[in-house]
Amino acid sequence: MAFRGRGRGRGGFGGGGFRAAKQEPFELYPELEDLGTAEYSNRNLQLIKWYSNLQKYWNSSPYYYEGGSERTRNVQKPDVERLSDKDLQVANSKPPLWHFIKLDIDHIPAELARGEKKEKRGIKRVRWNQESDLHKLDLFEKLEQKHQGEEGKENKENEDQEEDDEKNEEEAEEEFSDEGDYEQNEYFDDDEDDYNMGDDNDDEPFF
């Protein structure tokens, strides 16, 4: 396909030679000169805000699928691990998909469904709201500051510890569930094996 006469400076088009068309530099996003004024009402602002909230939620949720095999890669260990990194990781890790999507055969097609043993291992607390944890931590912090000199301080500390414990436990459980030995069979992908592409024998007896 001859691209003569196309004035686009894409790729290795550099070389000279007289061309019929003027070569323009290829700008993907040229500057908008005159945008004009917009008459917008508050309704529009609200719609825009809602849309961007939805987008943010989806991007931070497990629905934003980044590839199962990359999970271990995502955990980037910095050169020098710091204690504060631990909190960072907890805040950023996403709950697994099966917290939200029911993977049993009643709700999705048979070949996509997964067995029930995973679910039974306990959705201890499904995190619908990513901020609810931080919310509670903030709340406890504030309460702690208020009751500093009082006897109530001990109770709050206990609750804090409980909260931390719960978080740690959940975190430990998640880490455990993410990298434990029980996982290995689940993600052992037999189908990558070229010799055993057996996926059409679902309903027939296998002799």
Tell me which residues in 185-204 interact with another protein (CB under 8 A): 187, 189, 191-192, 199-200, 202-204
- Structure token pair of residue 128: 């619908």
Q: Which of residues 92-121 bind another protein (CB under 8 A)?
A: 97, 100-112
Q: Which of 1, 15, 122, 145 binds another protein (CB under 8 A)?
A: 1
Closest by CA to 99, choosing from 170, 181, 179, 189, is 170
Shortest spacing between CB 61 and another protein, in angstroms: 7
For residue 149, the minimal CB distance to another protein (Å) is 29
Residue 57 binds another protein (CB under 8 A): yes
Q: Which is nearer to another protein, 98 or 153 (CB)?
A: 98
Q: Which of 47, 75, 91, 172 binds another protein (CB under 8 A)?
A: 47
Q: Which secondary structure element, helix H or strand E, spans residue 46, and what is its range? A: helix 42-60
Q: Which is nearer to another protein, 20 or 80 (CB)?
A: 20
Told to check if 139 binds another protein by CB under 8 A, we report: no
Q: Which of 120, 119, 70 is nearest to 99 (CA)?
A: 119
Cross-strand partners of 8? 24
13 interacts with another protein by CB under 8 A:
no
13, 44, 88, 157: residue in contact with another protein (rule CB under 8 A) = 44
Residue that is written with structure tokens 């030995």 in the block: 181
Closest CA to 93 of 186, 184, 173, 181: 173
What is the Rg, in whole angstroms, of the alpha carbon atoms belonging to the chain? Answer: 27
Q: Is 67 in a helix, a strand, or coil?
A: coil
Least CB distance to another protein at residue 145 (A)? 20
# of chain residues touching another protein (CB under 8 A): 75
Whole-number Cα distances in Å, 80 to 76, 84, 90, 168, 175: 11, 11, 18, 22, 20
- Regarding 172 and contact with another protein (CB under 8 A), the answer is no
Distance CA 166, CA 96 (A): 18
Q: Which part of the chain contacts another protein (CB under 8 A), choosing from 50-58, 77-85, 165-173, 175-183? A: 50-58
135 binds another protein (CB under 8 A): yes
